[in-house]
Amino acid sequence: MPALKFVYTLAFALLFISPAVLSAAESQPNILLIMADDVGSDAIGCYGGQSYPTPHIDKLAQGGLKFTQAYSMPVCHPSRVCLMTGRYPFRFGKAGSKWGDFPDAAEGICIGDRMQQAGYATAVAGKWQLCFMKNDLDHPSRVGFDKWCLFGWHEGGRYHDPLIYQNGKLLKNTEGKYGPDIYTDFLIDFMKESHKEGKPFFAYYPMALCHDVTDDLKGKHVAYAHDGHWLTFAEMMTSMDDMVGRLVASLDEMGVRDNTLILFTTDNGTPAASYLYVNEQGKMVRPKVVSVQNNTIVPGGKGKLDDTGTRVPLIANWPGHIKAGQEVNTMVDLTDYLPTVADVAGLKDDGVPRDGVSFAEVLEGASGKDRRDWIFIEHRGKRCVRSLNWKLYDDGRFFDLKQDPLEKSPLKTDALSGKAKRNYASLQDTLEKMQGPLKPTH
């Protein structure tokens, strides 16, 4: 009888204990956030891409939720600022747009910081580009990451014989090794270690793939992949998908697949070209990249403000929580990820103003129809806002995207009527408001 009384007493007491006090690994899901580099939705099989097999990514979509209206900035750096901070780069003034740098004002309020506040173990691996690592070896730790494994941007290779910094130190013995294997192994080890310690983990993988090599070494060139050339775009796509498959397989092996939310997206559209080799004159040769999507030829559009530069995949997979085989046209951009993972982790609003809007409720099955009405895009002084079917540029060009998805024929704004006139006025009002810093919410 005393033993039975103890059981009743314990059960009653547990009713009043915060879930945060219980095992975090049981009350909070793990989160694996993957952001591939230079891959538009046109290149992914489950989005109608026909040029590059992506079986592992497609399987995530088949078993989860596919967003058809996900967007990024046209190029990598501003996209990374959006994801890290939940804000558009212009909110930080010049500091938000400086290439290879990160605004000091964002330190302490980033996506990693929020996950640490929720009790998560945090790690990032792959591409950083938010500082020159050799000049700021501990930068990831100041924006919320416990551990990191990142290649030295513009210091050396990211693929073969890579130059990598791991937890503030230059990683040795990388000769003959392949960077993406190192980044993926690092995250797998991190996830296993965190699970063993009973902590939920947030693993952020801004992939090196599928960005081409860059001229990092001032006249010298990074190591070739094989046969006197670097990886083709198609080879990088295959490797990218393989890395996703390895990560998913590791979660299965750990037995935590059902308690892990996987988000897969990319930082911008497919590039127009990709460096392949150095010719006899010593110049890097960059063949064009062209994809086929739904039987239509799609030239790479990275850097453009239209769909070829900004429309990206977003796949959410979480067995037992997200129903398999779903597709939604809810609008999402990269500022939305921070508030989303914060919601999934059970965090309350911290009062920090952000542009992003959580789509956690969409993961749970809500329609999200009224969650976000527009997407903001900017690049090199050009700005635009778009809704599902309409788009307005700051130079006055206005498009009916349903009738003109390639943005070939701008409408005459002085002759608009009905729905077109109303949408023009709404987007014009939104564009005019996209100025200056955000104000605190409370």
CATH code for the domain of 219: 3.40.720.10
If asked whether residues 365 and 391 sit together in one domain, one would say: no
Q: Is 13 inside a domain boundary?
A: no
Q: Is 87 inside a domain boundary?
A: yes
CA distance 416 to 419: 8
pLDDT digits (tens, 9 = 90+) for 130-171: 988 889 999 999 999 999 999 988 889 999 999 999 999 999
The average confidence (pLDDT) of the chain is: 91
Boundaries of domain holding 283 = 26-376
Across 80-112, b (16+ Cβ under 10 Å) vs e yields bbbbbbbbbbbbbeeebbeeebbbeebeebbbb
If asked whether residues 422 and 303 sit together in one domain, one would say: no
pLDDT in tens, the chain (442 residues): 444 333 333 333 333 333 433 334 457 999 999 999 999 999 999 999 999 999 999 999 999 999 999 999 999 999 999 999 999 999 998 878 877 789 999 999 999 999 999 999 999 999 998 988 889 999 999 999 999 999 988 889 999 999 999 999 999 999 999 999 999 999 999 999 999 999 999 999 999 999 999 887 776 889 999 889 999 999 999 999 999 999 999 999 999 999 999 999 999 999 999 999 999 998 999 999 999 999 999 999 999 999 999 999 999 999 999 999 999 999 999 999 999 999 999 999 999 999 999 999 999 887 777 789 999 999 999 999 999 999 999 999 999 999 999 999 999 999 999 999 999 999 999 999 998 787 765 4
DSSP string computed for 99-166: TT---GGGTTSSHHHHHHHTT-EEEEEE---SS-GGG-TTHHHHTT-SEEEEE-TTTS-SSBS--EEE
Q: What is the pLDDT of residue 26?
A: 53
Q: Is 20 inside a domain boundary?
A: no
CA distance 261 to 344: 9
If asked whether residues 240 and 321 sit together in one domain, one would say: yes
CA distance 82 to 49: 26
Point out which residues pair with 151 in neighbouring strands: 164
CA distance 319 to 34: 17
Q: Is 252 inside a domain boundary?
A: yes
If asked whether residues 298 and 271 sit together in one domain, one would say: yes
Positive or negative CA dihedral for 411, 417, 419, 423?
positive
If asked whether residues 111 and 209 sit together in one domain, one would say: yes
Nearest to 38 by CA among 75, 71, 77: 75
Q: Is 77 inside a domain boundary?
A: yes
If asked whether residues 331 and 387 sit together in one domain, one would say: no
Q: Is 11 inside a domain boundary?
A: no
pTM greater than 0.85 (yes/no): yes
Last residue of a domain, one of 376, 399, 420: 376
Q: What is the pLDDT of residue 386?
A: 98
Q: How many domains does the chain have?
A: 2
Task: Give counts: helices (H), strands (E), the chain.
Answer: 12, 18
CA distance 299 to 146: 39
Last residue of a domain, one of 334, 359, 376: 376
Nearest to 383 by CA among 335, 430, 334: 430
Q: Taking a C-beta distance cutoff of 8 angstroms, is the pair 337, 356 a contact?
A: yes
If asked whether residues 353 and 220 sit together in one domain, one would say: yes
**CB neighbours (10 Å) of residue 172?**
8
If asked whether residues 396 and 262 sit together in one domain, one would say: no
Across 207-225, b (16+ Cβ under 10 Å) vs e yields bbbbbbbeebeeeebbebb
If asked whether residues 359 and 391 sit together in one domain, one would say: no
Q: Taking a C-beta distance cutoff of 8 angstroms, is the pair 52, 320 a contact?
A: no
Last residue of a domain, one of 332, 356, 376: 376
Q: Is 6 inside a domain boundary?
A: no
Q: Is 329 inside a domain boundary?
A: yes
Q: What is the pLDDT of residue 23?
A: 39
DSSP string computed for 43-72: GSGGGTB-SS--HHHHHHHHTSEEEEEEE-
If asked whether residues 154 and 272 sit together in one domain, one would say: yes
If asked whether residues 214 and 97 sit together in one domain, one would say: yes
Point out which residues pair with 382 in neighbouring strands: 379
If asked whether residues 59 and 122 sit together in one domain, one would say: yes
